[in-house]
Amino acid sequence: MTDTTNTPHRHIPDRLDNPVKSAVFSWETLLVLVGVAIFTANAFASPYFLNEWSLSDLTFNFTEKAVIALAMALLIISGEIDLSVAAIIALASTLMGMAVQWGVPTPGLVAIGIGVGLACGAFNGFLVTGLKLPSIVVTIGTMSLFRGLSYAILGDQAYGGYPADFSWLGQGYVWWVISFELVFFIAAAIVFWFVLHRTNFGRRIFAIGNNALAAQFSGVRVARIKFVLFCLTGLMSGIAAVMLTARLGSTRPSIAQGWELEVITMVVLGGVSILGGAGSILGVVLAALIMGLVTFGLGLLNVPGIVMSIFIGGLLISVIALPILYRMWKERRQ
Amino acid sequence: MIRFFKQREVMLLAIIAIIVALVTTRSSGFGTPRNLAAVFNDTAVLAMLACGQLLVILTRSIDLSVAANLALTGMIAAMINAAMPGVPVEVLIVGCVVVGGLLGAFNGVLVWKLNIPPIVVTLGTLTIYRGAVFLVSGGTWVNAVDMSDRFKELTRLVFLGLPMLSWFAIVVIALFVLLMARTSLGRSFYAAGINPTAATYAGIDVGKTKFIAFTISGMVAGLAGYLWVSRYVIASVDVARGLELQVVAACVIGGVSIAGGIGTVGGAVLGALFLGVINNALPVIGVSPFWQMAISGAAIITAVIFNARGERKRGRIILKSAEAA
């Protein structure tokens, strides 16, 4: 570790690995194994776990965050980050709550939630791509601004009285135990998978994340794509705000506090490189499932939420640290 | 270049003076030396933390765990004081600095030895340290009744017209000024941030410099832990929640570049004072204190825009002078 410059030393192999071998040893396979292990442990730890309604409740634990994580994955792959997602939820939820007081019906509320999310995302995108500012500080600033506006509007009050058909978006079931939130998440995951892994747009995101300058010289409109990704992250945060508000049925300015951390943890746990340029939607979906399993399992065992956050923080660090430690150990052996 | 730094500080000082003057026209008591001293005392902890954060940001890193560190060390100090009132407060303060330093060093090791991006490390340790407060305290809090008199009074004792809390801040700020201006370690923070490759060739271990920056930031946070608990006579899980953003905001407003290598102790302290003056002025002019968060957010964004412009301009000036020479 004497070399501390920022240039990564990339080892380029003479030929690619056998596809079967690389699939077996991939990050996603590891995630599946971890997921199965936690699922089994949960089933043994609590007698209430293996029940279709318990499993359905489990999905409510992560779908809203996972919806944001899909877009965040694209943003992080492109080499940017958005720490303001939870604050966007707070602002969108507050404005929806305000609209309820004026008697706006459900379609209007959904439009407001999604519109506010999109506008916040566009604002982030403009600051980062238009004014060429670093996304970490910009989104720390907007995080404080968006949630601050929510506090300024609400103070220590709360909004409630959402219409019944609005609640369905967060509490309703499409069929049997399959909730609307879960269906929406699966549909969104398929769309994001297609966009990232099967379109030119997706390839360009990887290109930007690996080398934005080279991408620019290859004719990729770096700024425009990054702007779109910020808008997309804002949009998904707006949708998450609609679902969360509908599920809780009330709005406080502290709503979704700390979610930015959990969303980023999901993305990083899913194998997306925090430095950009690598990652997959399948990994993010699996990571979302694992985080849902862990928090729900701990919840069944009566572990308080703040202790769970220790697990999540530890998970975030160890997921990144372990592969590095493993690589260092392997290098030392050679 | 030096002229530019001075400009930023002079500009901030002028803005602070204008705000104070404007608020004083609305409420004549605000501009009195006595009230300004109270505002400084209110901002003391933030200013100290901003100095620690300055080192970290200079080395192209960020430390989001300072507020959680403060809460954890403050809780440990308060619990020891409640359980063993016989332990001298001076020993507790040293203990706080050590514990805070260890928590900071943990961040530093992960950044130095494992090369994990600082934002990820400190987002993770932020939740871990905050959760640890719950684990050590069992979710309860330590109140004024449980703390010894000396523990509570040490920050309040008045010396030369200022409470000890302010003196703590003044001493810490003075130490930082000496560190940055008069030691090779202080200069190495700048070198490691402005051009890590050149710094490595100049014999500076950039990773180790980051580690030291995180450790010092942690030590300051540990000291602030005692000061906070002593000042507000409460230690709980929620102490200083969200303060890390104010600390980063103070630095950014003070002209510290998030890209590393640019910033001064004076700027960071003035950035903190700016936030302190605004926070104290809002209730005086009849604005709900719930606006604080939104205003500091807007201030961060404005400052980042200013910083980016200044940095770009600076680059051009260097090129011109190089051509002229």
What is the tens place of the pLDDT at every residue in B18-40?
A: 999 999 988 888 888 888 999 99
pLDDT (tens digit per residue) in A204-259: 999 999 999 999 999 999 999 999 999 999 999 999 999 999 999 999 999 998 89
Residue A323 lies in a domain: yes
ipTM reported for the complex, 2 dp: 0.83
pLDDT (tens digit per residue) in B222-237: 999 999 999 998 898 8
Q: Which of A90, A140, A116, A153 is nearest to B299 (CA)?
A: A140
Band of pLDDT at residue B2, cut at 50, 70 and 90: low
Residues of chain A neighbouring B128 (CB-CB closer than 8 A): 310, 313-314, 317
Q: B255: helix, coil or strand?
A: coil
Q: Considering only the beta carbons, identify the residue of A1, A131, A145 that sits closest to B308.
A: A131
> Which amino acid is present at A8?
P
The token duo for B26 is 């609305």
The H or E element that residue B158 is part of is: strand B158-159
pLDDT over 70 at B88, yes or no: yes
C-alpha torsion sign, points A229, A77, A84, A305: positive
Residue A307 lies in a domain: yes
Average pLDDT over chain A reads: 89
Going by their DSSP bridges, the two strands B162-163 and B158-159 should be labelled as: antiparallel
The token duo for B13 is 């000082």
- Output the pTM of the full model: 0.86
Residue A32 lies in a domain: no
pLDDT (tens digit per residue) in B104-160: 999 999 999 998 889 889 988 998 999 999 999 988 888 888 888 888 888 888 888
Record: contact A258-B127, CB cut-off 8 A: yes
C-alpha torsion sign, points A137, A139, A141, A144: negative
For A87, how many CA atoms within 13 A lie in the half-sphere containing its CB?
23
Q: A117: helix, coil or strand?
A: helix
Going by their DSSP bridges, the two strands B162-163 and A178-179 should be labelled as: unpaired
Task: Give the B window 39-58 contacts with A, CB below 8 Å.
Answer: none
Record: contact A5-B252, CB cut-off 8 A: no
> Which amino acid is present at A141?
G
The domain that holds A137 is classified in CATH as 1.10.3470
Residues of chain B neighbouring A275 (CB-CB closer than 8 A): 117
Residue A27 lies in a domain: no
Instruction: State how far the Cα of A82 lies from the Cα of A233, in Å rounded to an integer.
Output: 8
Number of domains in chain A: 1
The token duo for B251 is 């630095």
Structural domains in chain B, CATH included, are: 2-324 (1.10.3470)
Instruction: State how far the Cα of A5 lies from the Cα of A173, in Å rounded to an integer.
Output: 53
Comparing A110-124, A215-229, A259-273, the range with the smallest average pLDDT is A259-273
Residue range(s) defining the domain that contains residue A260: 48-333
Residue of B258, B290, B312 best to disrupt the A interface, most CBs of A under 10 A: B290
